C-alpha cells in the first residue's frame, strides 16, 4: 500500500505528526487516547509506539523519548530510525483534525478488508447470503463501536432544553424515543394510531411524514377508517394534504430476531433494510410488536437484542416510533395486562394502555361507546404534564366516529359514513 499523502487508506505523515505532538506535549494523550487505538495507525512501528504510550499512561509514567525507548525495547519493537522520523515531524497546531483524519483512514481500511472478505465468502459459497449479510452487519457495528466516546459533559454545560413531544396537549408522543401503546384485541389500537398520524402531520403543517405498518388490517378497512378519523376531527377540507403525508403497508412483518445458539441472538439484517426505506418519516407506527420481534417476547435477552437498535435509531435520526402491542387476554370484565419481557417496557420512554370505558364493576358502559380510557403507565420524560395526568392517570379520548355506524366498521364495510374520496 502506498504511504504517500494521496492514499485513501493511510497517511504516514499524519501518523508521525500526531505521535510527535504527543511526545512533545504528553497532556494531549488524555484526549487523543480515548479517540484512537493502536490499530488506527497503519505503520507497524507507529502501532507499537502508540501502544507503548498507552502502557506508560496507565502506569502513570512519563511519555518522553527515554521511557518510550525502554518500553519499545522491552516489547522488541524499538526502531531508532523510525523514532527519529517521528521526532522530526513537522509540528502541528490543531491535533483534533489530524486525529479525525486518522480515524477516517482506519475505517476505510477496515471497510476495504470487509469488502474483500465478503467477496471471498460469496465466491467460495461457503456461507449463505443471509449469513454473509449478518457477518457484514456485525463487522460494521464493530467499526462504528471503535470510535465510541463517552462524551463527558460538565454539570455547567448540561443542555437546558427539555424533551419535546408531539401532540403534547392531546396524547404526548416523545421525539427521539419509543412509545408503547397496548390494549386487548378489538379495543381500537388501529383507530388510535390513525388519529395520532393525522394529528401529527396536521400539527407539523404537512412538513413531516408518517408511516404506519398495519399488518393486521386489510387496506380497504384502513382506508375507510382514515377517512372517518379525518372526518370526525374536522379536517375533511385538508384530506388531500393529509393523505399526501401518510403512507402505509399491510405486508406481514419480518421476524427481526435471529437465534444464533442457546441463549444467543442477533438482530436480522432486515432491520437495516427497513431503517433505510423509512428514512424519510418522522413518525413510524409498527403493529404488532410481537410479529416484528419474532423471537420469545418473554425472554429479556432477546427483547434487549430487539429493542436496542430501535432505541439507537430514534436517537440518531430524531424519530418517534410507536409500537402497538397486545395485552394478555382479559376476562371480559377488565383489561388484560402488558405482555412480554420487562425489557420491552424499560426500553420505551412513555407507555399507554387503552381499554373500553367501564363501570366500577368492570362492565363496559353502553354510553360514550366512541371513547376509550387511555392510562399513562410509564412516563420517563414528563409527557403527562401536557395533559395534566399523573403516572397511572387516565384520559378519555374519542377514537371512533360518534355515530352508530362505527359498530359495523369492525365487520362488513357497509357503513353509513359520508362518501369517501379516492386516495
Write down the pLDDT at residue 94: 86
Q: Say which residue, 328 or 278, is predicted with more confidence.
A: 278
The whole-angstrom separation of Cα 267 and Cα 306 is 6
Confidence of residue 417 (pLDDT cuts 50, 70, 90): very low
Q: Are residues 11 and 93 in the same domain?
A: yes
Q: Which of 331, 332, 312 is nearest to 321 (CA)?
A: 312
Contacts of 210 (CB under 8 A, 6+ apart): 197, 200, 201, 245, 246, 247, 281, 282, 283, 284, 285
Buried b / exposed e along 279-294 (16+ C-beta atoms within 10 A): eebbbbbbbbbbbbbb
317-373 residue pLDDT tens:
999 999 999 876 554 454 446 678 889 999 999 999 999 999 988 899 988 999 999
Confidence of residue 154 (pLDDT cuts 50, 70, 90): confident
Write down the pLDDT at residue 133: 73
Give residue 293's domain range: 165-410
Q: Are residues 54 and 84 in the same domain?
A: yes
Task: Judge whether 223 and 408 are in contact, CB under 8 Å.
Answer: no
Q: Say which residue, 348 or 162, is predicted with more confidence.
A: 348
Beta strands in 271-329 (DSSP E): 283-287, 320-326
Q: Are residues 144 and 184 in the same domain?
A: no
Query: Picking from 141-150, 311-320, 351-360, which range would have the lowest pLDDT averaged per residue?
Result: 141-150
CATH of the domain at 292: 3.40.50.300
Residue 375: inside a domain: yes
Q: Are residues 23 and 52 in the same domain?
A: yes
Between the two ends of the chain, the Cα-to-Cα distance in Å is 57
Write down the pLDDT at residue 413: 39
Write down the pLDDT at residue 415: 39
Residue 417: inside a domain: no
Say how many C-beta atoms besides its own lie within 10 A of residue 309's C-beta: 16
Query: Picking from 118-122, 144-148, 236-240, 368-372, which range would have the lowest pLDDT averaged per residue?
Result: 144-148
pLDDT at 208 over 80: yes
Residue ending a domain, among 137, 160, 183, is 160
The whole-angstrom separation of Cα 137 and Cα 157 is 35
Residue 416: inside a domain: no
Contacts of 231 (CB under 8 A, 6+ apart): 401, 417, 418
pLDDT at 406 over 60: no
Which cell numbers in the block locate residue 181? 401503546
Residue 421: inside a domain: no
Kindly tell me the burial class for residue 91, based on how many C-beta atoms sit within 10 Å of its own C-beta (0-12, 13-18, 19 or more). exposed
Q: Say which residue, 288 or 341, is predicted with more confidence.
A: 288
At 275, is the secondary structure helix, strand, or coil? helix
Write down the pLDDT at residue 416: 39
> What is the total count of domains within the chain?
2
Q: Is the pTM of this model over 0.75?
A: no
Residue 418: inside a domain: no
47-88 residue pLDDT tens:
999 999 999 998 889 999 999 999 999 999 999 999 999 999
Q: Are residues 140 and 178 in the same domain?
A: no
H runs (alpha helix) in 125-218? 129-146, 189-203
As a whole number, mean pLDDT of residues 121-149 equals 68
The whole-angstrom separation of Cα 29 and Cα 230 is 60
Q: Which among 45-54, 121-130, 287-296, 407-416 has the top mean pLDDT?
A: 45-54
Confidence of residue 410 (pLDDT cuts 50, 70, 90): very low
Q: Are residues 213 and 99 in the same domain?
A: no
Q: Which of 172, 192, 218, 166 is nearest to 356 (CA)?
A: 192
CA distances from 102 to 165, 181, 225, 260, 331 (A): 39, 45, 55, 35, 62
Q: Are residues 179 and 154 in the same domain?
A: no
Write down the pLDDT at residue 409: 41
H runs (alpha helix) in 187-284? 189-203, 219-232, 239-244, 270-277
CATH of the domain at 146: 1.10.860.10
As a whole number, mean pLDDT of residues 13-19 equals 95
Write down the pLDDT at residue 238: 95
Residue 419: inside a domain: no
Q: Are residues 152 and 232 in the same domain?
A: no
Q: Say which residue, 235 or 94, is predicted with more confidence.
A: 235
Q: Are residues 156 and 186 in the same domain?
A: no
Element housing 213 (H / E): strand 210-214
Which cell numbers in the block locate residue 160? 437546558
Q: Are residues 156 and 227 in the same domain?
A: no
Buried b / exposed e along 147-177 (16+ C-beta atoms within 10 A): eeeeeeeeeeeeeeeeeebbbeebbbbbbbb
Percent of the chain with pLDDT over 70: 86
The whole-angstrom separation of Cα 13 and Cα 34 is 21
Residue ending a domain, among 127, 160, 193, is 160
Q: Are residues 214 and 93 in the same domain?
A: no
CA distances from 106 to 40, 77, 102, 290, 341 (A): 5, 21, 6, 39, 39
Which cell numbers in the block locate residue 189? 389500537
Confidence of residue 162 (pLDDT cuts 50, 70, 90): confident
The residues facing 178 across adjacent strands are: 321
Residue 420: inside a domain: no
Peptide bond just before 215 cis, omega within 30 deg: no
pLDDT at 250 over 80: yes
pLDDT at 5 over 60: no
Q: Which among 98-112, 134-148, 387-401 has the top mean pLDDT?
A: 387-401
- Reported residue count of the chain is 423
Residue ending a domain, among 103, 136, 160, is 160
Write down the pLDDT at residue 230: 96
Contacts of 67 (CB under 8 A, 6+ apart): 56, 61
Query: Picking from 4-18, 273-287, 341-355, which range would have the lowest pLDDT averaged per residue?
Result: 4-18
Mean pLDDT of the chain: 86
Q: Say which residue, 265 or 348, is predicted with more confidence.
A: 348
Q: Are residues 219 and 258 in the same domain?
A: yes
Residue 268: inside a domain: yes
Percent of the chain with pLDDT over 90: 61
Contacts of 76 (CB under 8 A, 6+ apart): none
Write down the pLDDT at residue 2: 44
Amino acid at each position: 500500500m502506498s504511504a504517500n499523502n494521496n492514499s485513501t487508506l493511510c497517511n504516514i505523515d499524519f501518523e508521525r505528526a500526531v505521535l510527535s505532538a504527543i511526545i512533545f506535549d504528553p497532556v494531549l494523550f488524555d484526549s487523543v487516547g480515548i479517540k484512537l487505538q493502536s490499530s488506527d495507525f497503519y505503520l507497524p512501528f507507529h502501532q507499537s509506539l502508540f501502544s507503548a504510550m498507552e502502557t506508560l499512561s496507565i502506569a502513570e509514567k512519563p511519555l518522553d523519548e527515554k521511557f518510550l525507548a525502554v518500553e519499545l525495547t522491552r516489547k522488541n519493537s524499538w526502531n531508532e530510525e523510525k523514532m527519529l522520523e517521528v521526532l522530526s515531524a513537522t509540528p502541528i497546531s490543531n491535533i483534533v483534525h489530524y486525529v479525525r483524519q486518522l480515524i477516517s483512514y482506519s475505517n476505510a481500511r477496515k471497510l476495504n478488508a470487509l469488502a474483500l472478505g465478503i467477496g471471498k465468502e460469496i465466491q467460495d459459497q461457503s456461507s449463505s447470503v443471509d449469513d454473509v449479510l449478518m457477518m457484514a452487519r456485525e463487522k460494521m457495528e464493530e467499526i462504528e463501536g471503535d470510535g465510541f466516546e463517552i462524551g463527558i459533559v460538565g454539570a455547567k454545560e448540561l443542555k437546558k432544553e427539555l424533551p419535546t413531544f408531539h401532540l403534547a396537549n392531546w396524547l404526548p408522543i416523545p421525539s427521539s424515543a419509543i412509545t408503547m401503546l397496548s390494549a386487548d384485541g378489538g379495543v381500537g389500537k388501529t383507530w388510535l394510531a390513525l388519529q395520532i398520524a393525522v394529528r401529527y402531520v396536521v400539527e407539523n403543517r404537512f412538513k413531516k411524514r408518517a408511516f404506519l405498518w398495519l399488518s393486521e388490517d386489510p387496506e380497504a378497512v384502513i382506508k375507510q377508517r382514515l377517512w372517518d378519523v379525518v372526518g370526525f376531527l374536522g379536517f375533511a377540507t385538508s384530506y388531500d394534504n393529509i393523505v399526501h403525508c401518510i403512507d402505509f403497508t399491510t405486508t406481514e412483518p419480518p421476524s427481526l430476531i435471529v437465534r444464533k445458539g442457546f441463549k444467543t441472538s442477533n438482530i436480522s439484517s432486515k432491520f437495516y433494510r427497513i431503517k433505510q426505506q423509512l428514512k424519510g418519516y418522522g413518525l413510524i407506527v409498527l403493529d404488532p410488536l410481537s410479529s416484528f420481534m419474532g423471537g420469545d417476547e418473554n425472554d429479556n435477552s432477546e427483547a434487549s437484542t430487539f429493542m436496542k437498535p430501535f432505541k439507537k435509531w430514534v436517537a440518531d435520526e430524531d424519530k418517534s416510533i410507536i409500537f402497538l402491542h397486545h395485552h394478555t387476554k382479559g376476562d371480559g370484565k377488565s383489561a388484560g395486562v402488558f405482555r412480554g419481557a420487562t425489557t420491552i417496557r424499560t426500553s420505551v420512554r412513555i407507555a399507554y394502555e387503552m381499554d373500553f370505558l367501564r363501570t366500577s364493576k368492570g362492565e363496559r358502559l353502553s354510553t360514550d361507546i366512541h371513547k376509550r380510557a387511555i392510562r399513562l403507565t410509564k412516563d420517563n420524560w414528563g409527557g403527562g404534564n401536557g395533559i395534566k395526568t399523573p403516572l397511572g392517570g387516565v384520559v378519555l379520548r374519542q377514537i371512533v366516529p360518534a355515530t352508530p355506524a362505527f359498530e359495523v366498521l369492525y365487520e362488513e364495510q357497509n357503513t353509513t359514513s359520508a362518501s369517501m374520496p379516492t386516495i
